[in-house]
Structure 1
């Protein structure tokens, strides 16, 4: 296993940030690590990198015990933190040379230090800006510098906390392709609030809330279900007991006075059933919208 987390908990004084979190990942996996603000994502990532210690539990990276051998584990981890700390008064190549000296990459990989730096600059699309000081770069390009530093020592595991922050739509596509390419030979765990990025890049999703894992599934499994969501507004307010009469209802929510957000589990299109229901109960439908059961919908359902 490239990543193995066993019953990890983290308590800050009286607040439990993580509650017996467990998951594992093999080489070649790209995992979207999702959750609302304060769910414990960044805490888990810092524990994986050995930056902080858990209150209990075990963590292994490439079969290395992170708690017992943090420095050894860090040699095989590439970590991009959320706020991407950079020495902005350095030139891009100067900064990457500094990072390369820390990891002693000339002895760790086949390429020379200079060759590896140029390879990483090209991979993240920094070639045209590599002659500049970091403080002269846009936020998007500064994010690329952080990504270049993250992959510089050719790590086996990449832990990326909000890696697409500050990127424009074109840059998003480029970094998305980079992550997919890296995921072919590495294990990638990344956190983001952009669900479209997860659907475009990941093969698996872990969703946590209040320090607990709610969902850990392959993305294909989440997409293959037969649930459909319909938002309907009637001409006056009705009670829950009436909604329960609809066939194949698995959940419902009264968003506004007359508007209901109803989830059905059926291969059949449920809109005609709602029309029949309205007619039978003397209701008029003011609006009717159907939504695909996508990751954003699922995230809303389990985290609200």
Structure 2
């Protein structure tokens, strides 16, 4: 009931140029009863890794075991073991909700009263009661995601792989689906990707951060915060946009500068730097009106930006 990835590499052939290395010799595992967030910027290799783990793509090198089965040689056993919600949720929009779930369940060998009971359970679990008699094409994006999650769960798989499962959900729906994932994580192996950092903080036992095909961090949120404790982040807000923001980047100890808009700038520096005092002195020297200055504690979002932005270029 686990996911074990060892030295996984995926190359894509590109005509007239060197092969693109979408995933570059990564290794990590997800254990039963564990919910792991798989994070990274667009194009980092998350979806490619998930597609390999579900048997949709072959690996170029390395080993992937899902529930003890090898994706190369035991693809059908792997597919029976997982519930998968891909990034772009594929649905037959002319089918009705119950019809589609019956179809999905039948593909996994369910039938008769057992299938009908399971469909009813899934409709209740993901909150599709009011929409259960509609065609999929009539549903909002959020409700389509719920249908996708229901089909991933309908055969009660030991492993769940969810690629952006909460896309398109409103705040109320987010809370409900988070609870579904949290409950599933008590007895299943769950790997899911998301760009919503609050979701990861609320659900995950561990996170794996990937950038440009390589894992740049792995561990609990506490351990990642400890690993990045040598930096501080300060938000400086001026009355108006600076004509030359590079003056901030040149302050002693600054490692990264991000323009947030409307006169706001986010600076990351080593913890030994007296950054707030330096910004205040700069504003005074340059006759700039400083209207806000706040030091932030390390958040997952800040850690994510630091680990993925600093690797670019």
Compute the TM-score of the two structures, normalised by the length of structure 1.
0.86
Shift in Å, 1:84: 0.8
**Distance of aligned partners of 1:211 and 1:129 in 2 relative to their CA distance in 1, 3 Å threshold:** same
Q: How many residues align?
A: 292
Deviation at 1:274, TM superposition (A): 4.4
Once the two structures are TM-superposed, the CA of residue 278 in structure 1 deviates from its matched residue by 2.9
Which of the numbers 180, 184, 199 marks the counterpart of 1:197?
Answer: 199
Taking the aligned partners of 1:37 and 1:272, their CA distance within structure 2 comes to 33
Partner Cα separation in structure 1 for residue 167 and residue 138 of structure 2: 18
Match of 1:85 among 81, 90, 102: 90
1:3 aligns with 3
Change (3 A) 1:284 1:274: farther
Structure 2 regions of 5+ residues with no counterpart?
Answer: 14-18
Distance change >3 Å, CA 238–CA 152, structure 1 → 2: closer
Q: Contact between 1:207 and 1:215, CA under 8 Å: does it hold in 2?
A: yes
- Counterpart Cα distance in 1 of 2:246 and 2:74: 61
Question: In structure 2, which of residues 46, 50, 65 is the aligned counterpart of residue 45 of structure 1?
Answer: 50
Contact preservation (8 Å) 1:237, 1:258: no
Q: CA contact under 8 A between 1:8 and 1:58: conserved in structure 2?
A: yes
Higher mean alpha-carbon deviation, 9-18 vs 252-261, is at: 252-261
- Asked if 1:222 corresponds to 2:224, the answer is yes
SS in 2 for 1:216: strand
TM value normalised by structure 2:
0.84
Q: Is the 8 A contact 2:233 2:266 kept in 1?
A: no
In structure 1, distance between residues paired with 2:73 and 2:200: 32
**Alpha-carbon distance in 2 for matches of 1:186, 1:148:** 15
Are 1:296 and 2:294 counterparts? Answer: no
Q: Distance in 2 between matches of 1:189 and 1:230?
A: 33
1:220 Cα shift?
2.7
Name 1:71's counterpart in structure 2: 76
Q: 1:295 & 1:148 partners in 2: Cα distance?
A: 29
- Going from structure 1 to structure 2, the CA distance change for 1:289 and 1:144 (only over 3 Å counts) comes to same
Q: Answer whether contact 1:82 1:162 (CA < 8 A) is retained.
A: yes
For residues 3-35 of structure 1, the C-alpha deviation after alignment (integer angstroms, 9 at most, x for no partner) is 100101011111111110110111111111111
Q: Name the CA distance, whole Å, in 2 between partners of 1:262 and 1:146.
A: 39
Q: Secondary structure at the match of 1:243?
A: coil
Indicate the residue corresponding to 2:251 in structure 1: 243
DSSP-derived class of the 1:27 partner: coil
Query: Deviations for 1:78-113, whole angstroms, at most 9, x for unmatched residues?
Result: 000111111111111111111111101359xxx811
Q: Quote how far apart the aligned CAs of 1:282 are.
A: 5.7
Alignment of 1:260-299 (within 5 A): 261-265=267-271, 274=278, 278=281, 286=290, 287-299=292-304
Q: Residues of 1 paired with 2:266 and 2:169: CA distance?
A: 36
Alignment partners' CA distance in 2, 1:99 and 1:237: 55
1:231 counterpart residue number: 235
Name stretches of at least 5 consecutive residues in structure 1 with no aligned partner.
none
Shift of 1:43: 0.5
Change (3 A) 1:211 1:177: same
Rounded Cα–Cα distance in structure 2 between residues aligned with 1:272 and 1:91: 58
Answer yes or no: is the 8 Å Cα contact 2:40–2:210 preserved in 1: yes
Could you say which residue in structure 2 is the equivalent of 1:34? Answer: 39
1:105-184 paired onto structure 2 within 5 Å: 105=110, 112-184=114-186
